[in-house]
Amino acid sequence: MLSITTLLFPACPDLLLEEITREGQTLFLTVRSSKKAMACPDCAKVAAKVHSRYPRTLADVSLMDYAVRLRVQVRRFFCSNPACARKTFAELLADLAVAHARRTNRQASRLRAIAKELGGRPAARESENVLMPVSRHTLLRLLRCTELPTAPLPRVLGVDDWSLRKGQTYGTLLVDLQRHRIVELLPDREAETLEAWLAAHPGVEVISRDRAGAYAQGARKGAPQAQQVTDRFHLLLNLQEALKRLFERKQEALQEAAQQHGFLKPSTSSDGPAEGLPLNPTPLTPTVIGKQARRARRLKRYEEVMQLHEQGASQVRIAALMGLHRDTVRRYLTASSFPEIMRPGKRSRLDPYKKYLQQRWAEGEQNVKHLLVELRERGYRQGETIVYEYLRTLRKPPEGMDASEVQKKTTVHSAAQRALSAREAAWLFVCNPQKLRLSQARRLDHLRVTHEDLGLAYQLAQDFRVMVTRRQAPVLGRWLEEAKASGIKELQSLATGIYRDFDAVRAALATKYSNGQTEGKVNKLKCIKRQMYGRAKFDLLRQRMLLRA
Ligand SMILES: [Zn+2]
């Protein structure tokens, strides 16, 4: 049968349990070592002559509903080696507790785990719950002195900043993008700090960073051999910022669009033409806008190809200059006119499920949430919006109201009449037009159609978005030239910025690495920071992040 000592102290086979007493909710276990002799820590000669004994109390992990304390009789030995400088030494309880500790190793490691997960105060409360009560100071001290796991040197490094105090103090997060691990937290976002880290951790081959100048400089100096890659998401943010500045300059256009939009009649209204109709009587849907933009882009490309051809450039040369496939160039040159793309009608991913939805609807199940659950069970993996929209078509109007009235009601409610902010307008310009709601598409449409420069800005913005999201590196040069030639100063200055960082931006459009993962880790960090009520000290945050990396 298992002896109780082995059961209670599996890591310390030499321990003898002598007595168990209970005081309130605490069990006191009196233990001693059964070893007859001990090696001197200085000279390693085995000593058996006991000088004295003294008691040591250690807090241990709890047992059932009891807190547990160990009372250990520690012996002091005489060193038997006359040549040794040490006369006496206390026996070590190495597997049980480190010298001078007030708790066993296993209790310390449990408390560390709690502190790692919960931080200061919540961890202190939890330590009471698990009958190992300690103060938050003790927990934080344990956390601070926890040894960090040694991570292998990263080859592909993600760099991003995070705020220790919003708008005041920033730090830097380094992520191993191949191993999906946080590598380090730096206390600021200065070039020198990153440079020093890179110099001390050689071997980084790719550095994915945002377009902040400090990281570019730090990376160049600290790891000159590494390929720098800007983050695609940040590129889109830069575009959005540029557009926001553009709209701040064009406030009157936004005001005007809002007024126009207020007069918009719902498109399905049965009323005849009335005053205040929109400039374009058939409002463009997002899909149509997207199509138009793509067609315009292709047409422009086609015209450029033809122009180069007339100037005598070969097909190969045109392909290289334009960043097009040679087959595309050949197709353009052999076509009698601009080749339109004919696509079959687009099928909805909901199509296979429509019959089922109709059937359930007819059976009386008209709860959208329930129906969604049923669709998911049947393998539907797409978004909820198209389900909602499809079900709306199945819904009969309430009695006493005909369909056009329902439509009118919903349209009027959803069409806010206040002017868009510059930020909102910028977002509309950057967004994938397929993802816009109809009311958004209408506003966007108005802005594009009534202002020539905004129309051009929109086209450039969409070209940029497509180039970045589809990683079309060969197109970058041409986009920059178009932006330069656009006469829109905000986009010109964006282009200037990109020229300055050209290699890294081009790399961003040519590699698969992005900082998305790094940003995910930044969110995790924010979460932990919030848990510590935003008062987290840098070293503790670093410790917690790296321990759970
Ligand atoms: Zn000795």
Segment 201-228, tens digit of pLDDT:
999 999 998 766 889 999 999 999 999 9
- List of residues 6+ apart from 506 with CB closer than 8 A: 473, 476
Residues 114, 132: Cα–Cα separation, whole Å: 11
Question: Given the DSSP bridges, would you call strands 227-230 and 206-209 parallel, antiparallel or unpaired?
Answer: parallel
Residue 88 CA to ligand 1 center (angstroms) comes to 8
Residues 136, 157: Cα–Cα separation, whole Å: 35
Q: What is the pLDDT of residues 283-315, one digit of tens each?
A: 566 777 777 778 888 888 888 888 888 777 788
Q: At residue 118, does pLDDT exceed 90?
A: no
Residues 371, 360: Cα–Cα separation, whole Å: 8
Q: What is the pLDDT of residues 466-521, one digit of tens each?
A: 999 888 989 999 999 999 999 999 999 999 999 988 989 999 898 887 777 888 88
Residue 46 CA to ligand 1 center (angstroms) comes to 8
Residue 522 CA to ligand 1 center (angstroms) comes to 53
Residues 303, 321: Cα–Cα separation, whole Å: 14
Residue 82 CA to ligand 1 center (angstroms) comes to 8
Residue 333 CA to ligand 1 center (angstroms) comes to 93
Looking at residue 247, the DSSP 8-state letter turns out to be H
> Which amino acid would we find at residue 92?
L
Residue 36 CA to ligand 1 center (angstroms) comes to 16
Could you tell me how many residues make up the chain?
A: 549
Q: What is the pLDDT of residues 137-173, one digit of tens each?
A: 999 899 888 888 888 899 999 998 888 776 678 899 9
**CA gyration radius, the chain:** 35
Residues 201, 33: Cα–Cα separation, whole Å: 46
Q: What is the pLDDT of residue 296?
A: 81
Structural element, H or E, at residue 483: helix 476-485
Residue 83 CA to ligand 1 center (angstroms) comes to 8
CB 177 within 8 A of CB 156: yes
**Mean pLDDT score across all residues of the chain:** 83
The candidate with the shortest Cα–Cα distance to 482, out of 506, 461, 501, is: 461
Residue 55 CA to ligand 1 center (angstroms) comes to 23
Residue 90 CA to ligand 1 center (angstroms) comes to 11
Residue 98 CA to ligand 1 center (angstroms) comes to 20
Residue 50 CA to ligand 1 center (angstroms) comes to 14
